[in-house]
Structure 1
Amino acid sequence: MREQKQRRLPVVIASIAIQLCLGTVYIWSVFQNGIAQGIFSGRNADAALTFSLLLAVLGFGSIAGGRLQEVIGPRATVITGGVIAGIGFIAASFTSASFPWLLWLTYGVLGGFGMGFSYSTTITIAQKWYPEKKGLITGIIVSALGFGGVVFTPIVGAVIAHFDTGVAGSGELMALRVLGIIFIVVSLIGGYFIAAPPEDVLHGAVSGSGQGESLSPRQIMKDPRFYLLAGSLMLACMGGLMMIGFAKPIAIARGMAKTATVGVLAITLFNSIGRLFWGFISDKLGRKRTVILLLVVTAVLSLCVNLVTGYMIYVLIALIGFSYGGFLGTYPSFTSDLFGVKYNATNYGMVLIGFAVGALASSYIAGYFKDIAATDINLMFPAFIIASAAALLSILLVALIKTKNV
């Protein structure tokens, strides 16, 4: 037992380091204004699509990574993912207003695909090493992703300022190049320590799922619970995704330009805390009850965006991030509880397709209303009304999922 604990600790540490790098996705609002002005001629919806494409493709990358790690192993899969994402970010730094679509292709498609390899694989490997504490260990791993935004926000801000040539977007593009290099280095080093557990531990993880034999990806496609789960995740995350993409612009529009970066830090920090906290709570309360509670909170918070003023906007941003993090800290375990842990890297990747659709929809909706709200941020409020309604509809879908104490 002691030897097993010693062997699994490096896996967790490496997974945390890799997820920290993946967390840079949640600081997109730091890039939003500069990229919108410098690359997309002020079109916020087009700039936000870059962020949402990455999140959308991440789901498909998770599916591919889950299948790939069954063939070449988790170590090679994680390293491959890191290199793909790193190359995507580096290539994105060469985008210009003459061919803005390159940012979608490189940052969005390549970056998301590579990140998906590492995202689902590190989560599932950690769950296999800790079958008795899936909610907690999942929370720890994915909270690192959320905390990555806290770590990298000041770093990226400094890089943007250092390389700003006075041309809109110049510093932001160079920051993407730096992040790409970091991805590759961390993935090469951290990936070396990623390994699957021995058969006895793996058997304990599978039998400890509480649902009998693990279901394969083909099998879950015939299970109505899969569609309810993916659909509920699609709707659940819309409010959080809207705020993540526009936390800084909203703060600026509220007259908080000098401290607007606090909004980014608030949502990334509490996104991280929420993943760990709600992952732990879901072990005690059950996944289904936890998700429903989070949906109720999200529906209420989304309706408060136009009610708060001054520094209270940062409190609201933090609370929305806290709830959003809860979804990402609970759904991986929810998926493995329902369908088993053996194929969870692929199965959860398939559930993330719902997240992908929600990411694309939320970016378009938020970007559309942000363009309308060019001079009056209150005009963006309909986007959050839609997010609130989506959370309420998600409650219905979750309630229909048949579970056994999850």
Structure 2
Amino acid sequence: MKNYKPVYSIIASIAIQLCLGVAYLWSLFQTGIAKSIFDGDNAAASLTFSLLLATLTLGSILGGKLAAKYSIRTVVIIGGVILSLGFFFASFVTASVPWLLWLTYGVMGGVGMGFTYSTTISCAQKWFPHKKGLVTGVIVSALGFGGVVFTPIIEVLIKQFGGQQVGEQKTFMVLSGLFLVICTIGGLMIKNPPDDFENKKSGPSRAAGQESPVLTGSDLSPKQVLATPSYYFVTLAMALACMGGLMMIGFAKPIAVAKGLESTAVVGVLIISICNSFGRLLWGIISDKIGRKLTLIILLAGSGGMSLFVNAASDYWIYVVIAFIGFFYGGFLSNFPALTADLFGARHMATNYGLVLLGFGIGAVVSSYVAGYYKNIAANDISLMFPAFIIAAICAGVGILLVLPLKVKKASVQ
């Protein structure tokens, strides 16, 4: 492609991530799917969402390897096809074979997302190596903003297709077509920079003591990454960091309903989507200024603290708590990719971040089980679900202890 401009890849990545944001709207499907397919079992229904997030990890690793060997365009388009087929087949699942929803929406959806998720982030970082936090924040904030765009659309579709317990799966079919079109067009637009692009774009060093977004000579292969203690600290920290946010994303609407806000419960989904998106962008920018490590400590402290207010918040105050949890959670999703590139280099970032996402997948499965278990106990008395968020707060505290030993390289002073 002659006269190719980096902005084409950024636009394509934003469109694709916007589309992927639909996966984070599981809260809109949770209650209806739990009743119609899983006989009211909230934990079994939410496992669908956690499997999608868990297999996103596997898809990211595989997609990163394939993108390095073949073409990022091919990988993104294939990912879109897999994601589309997963949602298409999910629209035909019945209560007689509920496990098929785990396989279609969960596994196929997650693998398809993984093919497109980390590869587009990696591509954007390579085009703008000196602004990893900013560009990562822009790309992944699009995923969060997808929740804002598609929440009212999905609500309307579910109602048009027969309402709760009926309209969810027909909505899956519409989303299937959307994924196919956007990922195919976006895939055709995206392109990785030449191998020597980062060296050509090298600029002046940053201020003394400030973390450098470019770690020259630190491009570690996935095998080398697995041999470093930092990998295990980062991966486990990510597993623990995201638990509060994932619990709230999966149960924002049911929690609002249980708080007596049924008529406005969808607002909870919109709020967490907006704040998730805004947090991804803002915290990505902040991390370029103060460093990933300090940013993550602030995020962990904030997320853990707000998780403790879920039970105490009454009436519309629950939306304030939801907003802050979404805001801090969004920061994790822009900082962990940038931190991965800082620690292990940009060359193999798509695959290396896929390895770090193993922590995210573990956190997704554990958090959905814990939240679903306590939601089953709670029924409409949401105070009985509070132990789930206490666990999330404790995990955030442990996450801080894991981040503290990390040694992020700093630029020399010139």
TM-score scaled by length of structure 1: 0.96
Deviation at 1:328, TM superposition (A): 0.2
Q: Are 2:188 and 1:192 equivalent residues in the alignment? A: yes
Deviation at 1:140, TM superposition (A): 0.1
Pairwise CA RMSD: 1.7
Partner AA of 2:285 in structure 1: F
Partner AA of 2:165 in structure 1: G
**1:1-400 pair list within 5 angstroms:** 7-164=5-162, 168-204=164-200, 209-210=214-215, 212-400=217-405
Partner AA of 2:178 in structure 1: I
Deviation at 1:269, TM superposition (A): 0.7
Partner AA of 2:95 in structure 1: A
Partner AA of 2:133 in structure 1: G
CA distance in 1 between counterparts of 2:309 and 2:286 reads 25
Contact 2:158 2:164 in 1 (8 A): no
Count, aligned residues: 402
Deviation at 1:5, TM superposition (A): 9.9
CA distance in 1 between counterparts of 2:79 and 2:4 reads 26
CA distance in 1 between counterparts of 2:267 and 2:375 reads 20
Partner AA of 1:382 in structure 2: P
What SS is found at the alignment partner of 1:388? helix
Task: Give 1:401's aligned residue.
Answer: 406
CA distance in 1 between counterparts of 2:316 and 2:2 reads 48
- Deviation string 1:215-247 (CA, Å, 9 cap, x unpaired) is 000000000000000000000000000000000
Deviation at 1:203, TM superposition (A): 3.6
CA distance in 2 between counterparts of 1:153 and 1:106 reads 21
What SS is found at the alignment partner of 1:199? coil
Deviation at 1:198, TM superposition (A): 2.3
Contact 2:59 2:113 in 1 (8 A): yes
CA distance in 2 between counterparts of 1:169 and 1:65 reads 34
State which drifts further: 18-27 or 195-204: 195-204
Deviation at 1:375, TM superposition (A): 3.2
What SS is found at the alignment partner of 1:332? helix
Deviation at 1:14, TM superposition (A): 0.6
Partner AA of 1:235 in structure 2: L
Deviation at 1:168, TM superposition (A): 5.0
- Deviation string 1:236-288 (CA, Å, 9 cap, x unpaired) is 00000000000000000000000000000000110000000000000001000
Which protein is richer in helix relative to its size? 1
Contact 1:292 1:395 in 2 (8 A): yes
- Unmatched tracts of structure 2, length 5 or more: 204-212
CA distance in 2 between counterparts of 1:360 and 1:256 reads 28
Partner AA of 1:191 in structure 2: G
